[in-house]
Amino acid sequence: MNPHYIIDGYNLIHKIPKFKNAMELSLEHSRNRLISFLKAYQSSKNINITLVFDGDNVGYTGATDLSTKRLKIIYSHSPEKADPLIKRLIVKVKNKKSLTLISADNDLINFCKSQGAHVLSPEMFFYQASKHPKQEQMDQKYNQAISPGELDEWMKIFEER
């Protein structure tokens, strides 16, 4: 089963400067920037994402055309906030081992862990998602520890110069 991420949308926006700074233009601009980022990330990964936002007093116009088959964008309906909706979504997922919550909200984190699912901080998710696929391949290929003997050999080579 494909990995499934449930993202606490405004929590992530407020934790990542790239998206938080975009709120200076508008909240909608910040949301759209996050959605574009997630779509680009999905283009190189086989994952499903559910992005959840509070729908109350946030400039939500009801547009659903930004959702795709693998990226579902959900707004809570007033007076409900996103957190109870996220909890219900977590409960509905049958294979909890494939589920990862992206949030820094302690209540959601504890709930998610109690359900047997994974949790990732917004900062760590952004770091991982920002890496270009080719960069990941290069990191895996070349970021390997060298032995003390190899280090000594390299030190000798550079000392001779």
pLDDT tens-digit readout, 94-129:
999 999 999 999 999 999 999 999 999 999 999 999
When pLDDT is cut at 50, 70 and 90, the band that residue 15 belongs to is: very high
121, 11 Cβ separation under 8 angstroms: no
Chain-centre distance for alpha carbon 136: 16
SS3 content of the chain, % helix, strand, coil (to 5): 55, 15, 30
pLDDT of residue 138: 54
pLDDT tens-digit readout, 31-86:
999 999 999 898 888 999 999 998 865 555 444 556 778 899 999 988 889 999 99
pLDDT of residue 1: 77
Non-local (6+) Cβ contacts of 46 within 8 A are 2, 3
pLDDT of residue 155: 81
- C-alpha to C-alpha distance for 81 and 125, rounded to whole angstroms: 23
Distances in Å between the alpha carbon of 6 and those of 49, 98, 149? Answer: 6, 11, 46
Q: Which domains does the chain possess? A: 4-131 (3.40.50)
